[in-house]
Amino acid sequence: MSSKDIGAQAEEQALQYLQQQGLAVVSRNYHCRRGEIDLIMIDDNTLAFIEVRYRKSATFGGALESVNHTKQKRIIHTAQHYLQQQQTPSHNSYRFDVVAISPNQHAPEITWIKDAFQLN
Protein backbone atom coordinates (compact mmCIF):
# COMPACT_ATOMS: atom_id res chain seq x y z
CA MET A 1 0.00 0.00 0.00
CA SER A 2 1.43 3.41 -0.95
CA SER A 3 1.81 6.23 1.57
CA LYS A 4 -0.93 8.12 -0.27
CA ASP A 5 -3.28 5.14 0.17
CA ILE A 6 -2.36 4.87 3.84
CA GLY A 7 -3.07 8.60 4.31
CA ALA A 8 -6.45 8.29 2.58
CA GLN A 9 -7.31 5.32 4.78
CA ALA A 10 -6.32 7.27 7.92
CA GLU A 11 -8.49 10.21 6.83
CA GLU A 12 -11.42 7.87 6.30
CA GLN A 13 -10.93 6.36 9.77
CA ALA A 14 -10.76 9.84 11.30
CA LEU A 15 -13.89 10.92 9.43
CA GLN A 16 -15.87 7.91 10.65
CA TYR A 17 -14.63 8.43 14.21
CA LEU A 18 -15.55 12.12 14.23
CA GLN A 19 -18.98 11.44 12.72
CA GLN A 20 -19.57 8.94 15.55
CA GLN A 21 -18.71 11.80 17.94
CA GLY A 22 -21.47 13.91 16.37
CA LEU A 23 -19.52 16.08 13.92
CA ALA A 24 -20.88 16.75 10.41
CA VAL A 25 -18.62 16.94 7.37
CA VAL A 26 -18.47 20.20 5.41
CA SER A 27 -15.48 19.52 3.15
CA ARG A 28 -12.69 17.01 2.60
CA ASN A 29 -9.18 17.81 1.33
CA TYR A 30 -9.72 21.55 0.87
CA HIS A 31 -6.82 22.98 -1.17
CA CYS A 32 -5.45 26.42 -1.82
CA ARG A 33 -2.10 27.56 -3.16
CA ARG A 34 -0.27 27.28 0.16
CA GLY A 35 -1.82 24.25 1.78
CA GLU A 36 -4.50 21.68 2.40
CA ILE A 37 -6.92 20.93 5.20
CA ASP A 38 -7.85 17.27 5.52
CA LEU A 39 -11.32 17.73 7.01
CA ILE A 40 -13.60 20.67 7.69
CA MET A 41 -16.44 19.70 10.00
CA ILE A 42 -19.11 21.24 12.20
CA ASP A 43 -19.08 20.49 15.92
CA ASP A 44 -22.21 22.03 17.44
CA ASN A 45 -21.94 25.59 16.10
CA THR A 46 -18.14 25.57 15.69
CA LEU A 47 -16.32 25.06 12.41
CA ALA A 48 -13.42 22.66 12.99
CA PHE A 49 -10.42 22.59 10.66
CA ILE A 50 -8.95 19.14 11.20
CA GLU A 51 -5.48 17.82 10.40
CA VAL A 52 -5.22 14.02 10.30
CA ARG A 53 -1.82 12.49 11.01
CA TYR A 54 -0.82 8.83 10.81
CA ARG A 55 2.42 7.37 12.12
CA LYS A 56 3.33 3.71 11.90
CA SER A 57 5.86 4.19 14.70
CA ALA A 58 7.10 6.96 16.98
CA THR A 59 10.74 6.44 15.97
CA PHE A 60 10.96 9.85 14.32
CA GLY A 61 8.32 11.50 16.52
CA GLY A 62 4.68 10.71 17.00
CA ALA A 63 1.76 11.85 14.90
CA LEU A 64 0.88 14.74 17.23
CA GLU A 65 4.45 16.05 17.27
CA SER A 66 4.50 16.10 13.48
CA VAL A 67 2.12 19.07 13.43
CA ASN A 68 4.92 21.56 13.99
CA HIS A 69 4.80 25.35 13.85
CA THR A 70 5.38 25.42 10.07
CA LYS A 71 2.55 22.95 9.45
CA GLN A 72 0.28 24.95 11.78
CA LYS A 73 0.97 28.14 9.81
CA ARG A 74 0.04 26.38 6.54
CA ILE A 75 -3.19 25.08 8.03
CA ILE A 76 -4.07 28.51 9.43
CA HIS A 77 -3.40 30.20 6.07
CA THR A 78 -5.55 27.62 4.28
CA ALA A 79 -8.35 28.06 6.83
CA GLN A 80 -8.23 31.84 6.34
CA HIS A 81 -8.48 31.28 2.57
CA TYR A 82 -11.47 28.99 3.09
CA LEU A 83 -13.22 31.54 5.33
CA GLN A 84 -12.61 34.35 2.83
CA GLN A 85 -14.16 32.25 0.04
CA GLN A 86 -17.40 31.83 1.97
CA GLN A 87 -20.09 34.24 0.79
CA THR A 88 -21.79 34.43 4.17
CA PRO A 89 -19.97 32.95 7.14
CA SER A 90 -22.34 30.54 8.82
CA HIS A 91 -20.34 30.01 12.00
CA ASN A 92 -19.22 32.49 14.58
CA SER A 93 -16.39 30.38 15.94
CA TYR A 94 -13.80 28.01 14.59
CA ARG A 95 -10.93 25.95 15.90
CA PHE A 96 -8.01 23.81 14.76
CA ASP A 97 -8.07 20.13 15.73
CA VAL A 98 -5.60 17.30 15.20
CA VAL A 99 -6.53 13.64 14.91
CA ALA A 100 -3.55 11.34 15.42
CA ILE A 101 -3.82 7.71 14.33
CA SER A 102 -1.41 4.95 15.28
CA PRO A 103 -1.65 1.24 14.52
CA ASN A 104 -2.65 -1.09 17.32
CA GLN A 105 -3.10 -4.87 17.47
CA HIS A 106 -6.89 -4.94 17.14
CA ALA A 107 -7.92 -1.49 15.89
CA PRO A 108 -6.18 1.79 15.19
CA GLU A 109 -5.55 4.03 18.19
CA ILE A 110 -7.19 7.40 17.57
CA THR A 111 -6.37 10.52 19.58
CA TRP A 112 -8.47 13.63 18.95
CA ILE A 113 -7.10 16.93 20.24
CA LYS A 114 -9.71 19.69 20.08
CA ASP A 115 -8.35 23.22 19.74
CA ALA A 116 -4.84 21.82 19.27
CA PHE A 117 -3.36 25.19 18.29
CA GLN A 118 -4.41 28.80 17.97
CA LEU A 119 -4.21 31.59 15.45
CA ASN A 120 -1.11 33.56 16.46
**CATH, domain 3-117, list 3.40.1350.10, 3.90.1580.10, 3.20.20.80, 3.40.50.300:** 3.40.1350.10
Give the mean pLDDT of 1-19: 89
Predicted TM-score (pTM) above 0.75: yes
pLDDT, residue 7, reads: 80
pLDDT, residue 104, reads: 78
Q: How confident is the model at residue 87 (pLDDT cuts 50, 70, 90)?
A: confident
pLDDT, residue 22, reads: 97
Residues shown for the chain: 120
Looking at the predicted structure, is the pLDDT value of residue 114 above 90?
yes
- Sign for the CA dihedral angle at 34, 27, 57, 77 comes to positive
Give the mean pLDDT of 15-37: 96
* Residues in contact with 100: Cβ distance below 8 Å, sequence separation at least 6, in sequence order: 53, 54, 55, 62, 63, 64, 110, 111, 113
35 vs 58 pLDDT, higher one: 35
pLDDT, residue 34, reads: 85
Domain ranges of the chain: 3-117
Whether residue 29 contacts residue 40, with contact meaning beta carbons closer than 8 Å, is answered with no
